[in-house]
Structure 1
């Protein structure tokens, strides 16, 4: 092998020795040069099927990822059942051992709106802004305006400051009012979602709420931005209630969230010896009254982290 310019074989040997020292540290698999080396270094030679596991790691990781078990069987002579058993063992290894040193920061979420039900079951919206101090204009300055020794310049200065302060107080109150009205309109539209769960969420656009409240759509967008609401179904971002959708053949609106839940249900119940292709999923959704394009099914399947039909196939259930 050619060495990099300016480096001797002695330099290369020292680097290899240093790498070996680092790789001997915990956790197993760190400082590996590729995924195969990372996984191999985590294997104990005393484990059952050590040689077979090593073969899969060195030569067939891509085939395993794509669920091409018959090809692996043909190349290695391993049975499908053994390959599946080995794959389960491989899942016990850690492909990213260094991730244990990463710190994940999960901020606490404090709801801005509290949603409660009254005795009749109706939802009531309440702003949770008790932490925000109440603003008011000091009576001292109001009295100062009436004082006989207050000069014209001082009086004009105080008036300007009082007007500015009053404008700020009014703006904050208007913002509170807008957030309350927007929240009430959202809750009214998504009552079925709150009562029945995610599968009952309705398609909703910000323009619909803007029209109902009587404000510009950008006002709605600003009002719900980074705002959270505490509901009987947990603390949710207000933006969670805005979802796109499609129409059924009967002209009914269906939210994308509802389609995603149905998609998950279909895949959970499919025959794993012959999983649904994306085209099959389109047909099954249509039977359920949901007309969706194949590219849309593919898009949402990938977003949901669901593998392709080939990757979902259980080869132990078929002889083909």
Structure 2
């Protein structure tokens, strides 16, 4: 094929770097946005944080609408401890002169006065970790090792105990078999299976009760054996767990009463004793890091009107540094001046992107509140169906933009903190020709299950019938799907004695 030159004309959509930055900031969560802003402050000298009480002077050193503000800096008088007389040597007049009416600006109390906190290690010390030393959380493994270090035993038994603890999962169960644990020990120690079982029993006596069990039955029996001997119905509970745990799991109470020869009241109290135990004892010790949610939007009711406002404390306010911006010269094409001009332009676009993000977030949040006013007034059962297209059409934006705005953005309401995506749900047709939100249906199912008879819980078919009586037409499989999403067990597992 002979090569040739071909000229073609066409249209292509491209996004400018400014638009790409605006879209990227739009989809960031509040915590990610705070980190992005901090990185921008550290890399761009033209950006600075606007503190509370700072006033804009309205000047524009470049004549292009840059947000500039006059910043005043007050130098604090240094406090020399070497020239400070002791408290005992000061009379009343001198003591009054030593106490200023106000502390200098940009100083902390500890910078001026000696406090008890000064005795703490310096924050610059890499070895000092306040969170690590004051945190109450610890892992199950470390908790067991701490108890092991306090237990007197031989070196061989301690080595066996370490192997057993390594095989215990976060729920407190021993996942490794005793044969595998025995094979992992050095053969030169000549350890036998009896020794491994003895060490395992010692670990099973540690806290939390039930740790080191190999199955649920053993876990419950270990906890029952550590209860006081005079505990009411303790023997019956041990016999039920040991011999009839399968019947308890299937809720076959009639069989349990017949085989254990117990009355209904005695069986109910026995089951209550078993239910007071922990099926996963390790979860009492294992603790993860707390996850904090910072709301982006705050909704409150004032004078019978719902008000929507941005959480100003979530994102710091930025502005262009007027002093650095005033150093930029128009006609200068030097490398330093070009760098400063580029930094100034980047700072302006960054601030503009943040303003665009806030405006878009406010528009979307306001429309959501308008659509879901019933939820704010009456709760989940009044939730209306809502899809991305409805909000996109109301604010004049694309659905992809609405999806970015509602992802990892949270709204603080009088009913709690919810992700913006929570207010979007599909709909189900009603007998009157209307629509009912799937969130409202879940709330109704939860309400029906809470009011059901414990001896005869509602089946999925029965719940579907009750919803149909309210004009909501849903299939049984749909009810089962909603029930599972709520974490509600099937009717056979909800049956219990009263």
TM-score, reference length from structure 2: 0.57
Partners of 1:169 and 1:296 lie apart in 2 by: 47
Structure 1 unaligned runs (5+)?
none
Indicate conservation of the 8 Å contact 1:243/1:256, yes or no: yes
Indicate conservation of the 8 Å contact 1:115/1:125, yes or no: yes
Alignment map for 1:259-298 (pairs within 5 Å): 259-298=441-480
Which has the larger displacement, 176-185 or 268-277? 268-277
Which has the larger displacement, 105-114 or 63-72? 105-114
In structure 1, the residue matched to 2:204 is 23
Change (3 A) 1:118 1:24: closer
Change (3 A) 1:96 1:140: closer
1:306 equivalent among 488, 494, 497:
488
The structure in which a higher percent of residues are helix is: 1
Partners of 2:334 and 2:392 lie apart in 1 by: 46
Q: Does 1:89 align with 2:269?
A: no
Q: Does 1:47 align with 2:235?
A: no
Indicate conservation of the 8 Å contact 2:250/2:492, yes or no: yes
Higher relative contact order (CA 8 A, sep 6+): 2
2:214 equivalent among 23, 29, 33:
33
Bigger Rg, structure 1 or 2: 2
In structure 2, the residue matched to 1:127 is 310
1:108 equivalent among 259, 283, 292:
292
Residue 55 of structure 1: how far off its partner (Å): 2.0
Indicate conservation of the 8 Å contact 2:296/2:409, yes or no: yes
Partners of 1:81 and 1:299 lie apart in 2 by: 35
Change (3 A) 1:3 1:9: farther
Q: Deviations over 1:230-254 (max 9, x none)?
A: 2222333222212222111222111
Q: Deviations over 1:168-226 (max 9, x none)?
A: 22212111111111111111111111122222111111221112111122211221222
Indicate conservation of the 8 Å contact 1:3/1:9, yes or no: no
In structure 2, the residue matched to 1:234 is 416
In structure 2, the residue matched to 1:70 is 254
Structure 2 unaligned runs (5+)?
1-177
Counting matched residue pairs gives 312
In structure 2, the residue matched to 1:201 is 383
Indicate conservation of the 8 Å contact 1:145/1:158, yes or no: no
Partners of 1:123 and 1:103 lie apart in 2 by: 39
RMSD of Structure 2 on Structure 1 (CA): 2.7
